[in-house]
Chains A and B, each alone.
Chain A
Amino acid sequence: MKSGSNLERVFLSGQFACTAEIGPPKSTSSRSISRHAAALKDYADALNLTDNQTAIVRLSSIAASVHVMKAGAEPVIQMTCRDRNRIALQSDLLGAYSLGVRNLLCLTGDHQSFGNHPTSKNVFDLDSVQLIRAVQQLRDGKVFVSGDKCKYEPRMFIGAAANPFGDPFAYRVVRLAKKVAAGADFIQTQAIFDVERFKRYMDMVRDMGLHEKTYIMAGIVPVKSATALRRNAEVPGMAVPDELVKRMAGVPKEKQKEEGVRIAVELIQQVREIEGVKGVHIMAIAWEDIVPELVDRAGLFPRPQLAKEDGDTSG
């Protein structure tokens, strides 16, 4: 066991994993985090805490993870390369581990021009591949990027993102291979709406044998309305088939929420059929309350209850 996290144990048990996501608030109030964590904890193996997503200032992912743990759920902290150099990244990694965090998702980060501080400076001292490697070397080699030794190393279950819909399409799987080689234990993909294209991507993933070297979780985004679906389609690097937009638009407004849930459930069932997909990651940002229903209707409830083994480092 690398980290002893619940998420790692679910994967090791061979069961289909399920994670969800909580977006921390734009204030000091932790209430929404605690409320969502309590509501979702039985429906997800771990909960991602986003790191100032879309470059908007929010309560920090590490602080949010403490509230999640207090509520009895397991956090996955997201960490982007946008705002911190290698000194701050490693420092936060040590701090997060000391607080009990055992899962980490290494991300490049949205460019700050999207957010509410577009005049800020960005960092990108490391890129996401280099961050994954740094976390892996700290865990398995007990060394910092500098080469200095770390006496009590953070033993994280290391995650990375993959976007099967970005360009150049053929290179996407090569980039995934780089992340896996760097030490990514699990992968959470960009939201899947275009299942056919995702299948082609997974064909390439299997051709390279990557599905046996890392746990791939398909990203699922439930949408409330046709407008929301169209907005998703406009995000760079997102692919939403026209038929899906038409289907949603063809439903009366008051029934679009229900249709959104139905689509998400279908997507979960479809990606689950693809060889090499070991779980789903549900990103219901600003609609966290829908996760239990979604997980239940997709047949993923109840979640595995796994006893911690003796000698687990997770706390």
Chain B
Amino acid sequence: MIVAERKPLDEIVPLLGDCQKIMVVGCSECVTVCQAGGEKEVNTLAALLKLRGFGQVLTAVLNRQCDPEFIVDLDAELEGVDCILSMGCGVGVQFLAERYSHTWVLPALNTKFGGGAREAGVWEERCGFCGECILHLTGGICPIIRCSKSLLNGPCGGSQEGNCEIRDDVECAWQLIYDRLVALNRLDLLTEPLPPKDWSTARDGGPRRVERSDVKAV
């Protein structure tokens, strides 16, 4: 899922400027699961904004902010609204801005990464959305996003006792890959040099889209 985290209130308030009527919009997908922008968080933020003196704070929670089909639900509720404060991920903010071209749409969250909950209250990055999965070569552990240097041919010299050189609370992805391939008796995978990656499938190739003719409406 997309993991996000709410911006500090002291950063959100100045964004709102002199807006009087604010619509706080949550999303029932990823940001609900990672407890950043679901119904509960929407209500909390709305209450905090009222305490900061904002008179009219409305709330809504969409099934999915990244889907025009569900955004329509908001149409009838925006009468007189000065701004929409989205508690969706960056995708949600943009889909709202695209639909409501004459309404100011603001982000309440910082969208962090593609990941999951390692334990209650701890979310970690797992996917860098590079567009061409190589997990079959690395034992199901992604070096592109979990190695601080995106190395494809083994650990750099900074790997020590399972940790990355940048911080002790970051695991060395290559140590994890090595341990897993030892357990699976597949160390042979680590002797073959991997060639330079084709980054054109990643962000480097420009904004991406997926088109599926079988899904498109006929």
A→B interface (CB under 8 Å)? 81-82, 86, 108-111, 113-114, 122, 124-130, 133-134, 145, 161-163, 165-168, 171, 174-175, 177-178, 181-182, 190, 236-237
Closest residue of B by beta carbon distance from A131: B196
Contact, CB under 8 Å: A111 / B157: no
- Taking a contact as CB atoms closer than 8 A, the residue among A145, A165, A181, A237 that contacts B193 in the complex is A181
Contact, CB under 8 Å: A125 / B160: no
For window 20-55 of B, CB contacts with A under 8 Å fall at none
Contact, CB under 8 Å: A124 / B178: no
B162 within 8 A of A: yes
Point out the residues of chain A lying under 8 angstroms from B167, CB to CB.
113
Point out the residues of chain A lying under 8 angstroms from B195, CB to CB.
130, 133
Q: List 17 additional A-B contacts (Cβ < 8 Å) besides A86-B196, A129-B154.
A: A108-B149, A108-B157, A113-B167, A122-B149, A125-B196, A127-B152, A129-B193, A130-B153, A130-B196, A161-B157, A168-B174, A174-B187, A174-B190, A236-B158, A237-B157, A237-B158, A237-B159
A145–B163 Cα gap in the complex (Å)?
32
For window 52-78 of B, CB contacts with A under 8 Å fall at none
B129 within 8 A of A: no
Point out the residues of chain B lying under 8 angstroms from A125, CB to CB.
196, 199
Q: How far is the CB of A260 from chain B (nearest CB, A)?
A: 23
A81–B197 Cα gap in the complex (Å)?
14
Contact, CB under 8 Å: B149 / A167: no
Contact, CB under 8 Å: B153 / A171: no
Contact with A along B154-197 (1 / 0, CB 8 A): 11111111111111000010110011000000010011011110
- Taking a contact as CB atoms closer than 8 A, the residue among A126, A128, A161, A171 that contacts B190 in the complex is A171
A127-B149, A166-B160, A167-B175 known; A175 vs B154 contact (CB < 8 Å): yes
Q: Is the interface of B mostly helix, strand, loop or mixed?
A: loop
B151 within 8 A of A: yes
A55–B213 Cα gap in the complex (Å)?
48
Contact, CB under 8 Å: B175 / A168: yes
Contact, CB under 8 Å: A174 / B154: yes
Closest residue of A by beta carbon distance from B181: A171
A178–B159 Cα gap in the complex (Å)?
17
Point out the residues of chain B lying under 8 angstroms from A236, CB to CB.
158-160, 163-165
Contact, CB under 8 Å: A111 / B178: no
Contact, CB under 8 Å: B191 / A177: yes
B→A interface (CB under 8 Å)? 148-167, 172, 174-175, 178-179, 187, 190-191, 193-196, 199
Contact, CB under 8 Å: B159 / A175: no
Point out the residues of chain B lying under 8 angstroms from A114, CB to CB.
165-166
A174-B154, A237-B158, A237-B165 known; A168 vs B149 contact (CB < 8 Å): no
Q: How far is the CB of A193 from chain B (nearest CB, A)?
A: 14
Point out the residues of chain A lying under 8 angstroms from B178, CB to CB.
168, 171
Contact, CB under 8 Å: B196 / A168: no
Q: How far is the CB of B151 from chain A (nearest CB, A)?
A: 4
Closest residue of A by beta carbon distance from B161: A167
Contact, CB under 8 Å: B153 / A111: no
Q: How far is the CB of B78 from chain A (nearest CB, A)?
A: 37
A145–B214 Cα gap in the complex (Å)?
37
Contact, CB under 8 Å: B193 / A82: no
Contact, CB under 8 Å: A111 / B190: no
Q: How far is the CB of B180 from chain A (nearest CB, A)?
A: 12
A145–B195 Cα gap in the complex (Å)?
10
Point out the residues of chain B lying under 8 angstroms from A177, CB to CB.
191
Q: How far is the CB of B110 from chain A (nearest CB, A)?
A: 15
- Taking a contact as CB atoms closer than 8 A, the residue among A124, A128, A175, A178 that contacts B150 in the complex is A124
Contact, CB under 8 Å: A82 / B159: no
Q: How far is the CB of A253 from chain B (nearest CB, A)?
A: 30
Contact, CB under 8 Å: B193 / A178: yes
Contact, CB under 8 Å: A167 / B152: no
Contact, CB under 8 Å: B149 / A133: no
Contact, CB under 8 Å: A111 / B196: no
Contact, CB under 8 Å: B154 / A171: yes
A237–B163 Cα gap in the complex (Å)?
10
A113–B164 Cα gap in the complex (Å)?
12
Contact, CB under 8 Å: A167 / B155: yes
Contact, CB under 8 Å: A175 / B196: no
Point out the residues of chain B lying under 8 angstroms from A167, CB to CB.
155, 159-162, 172, 175
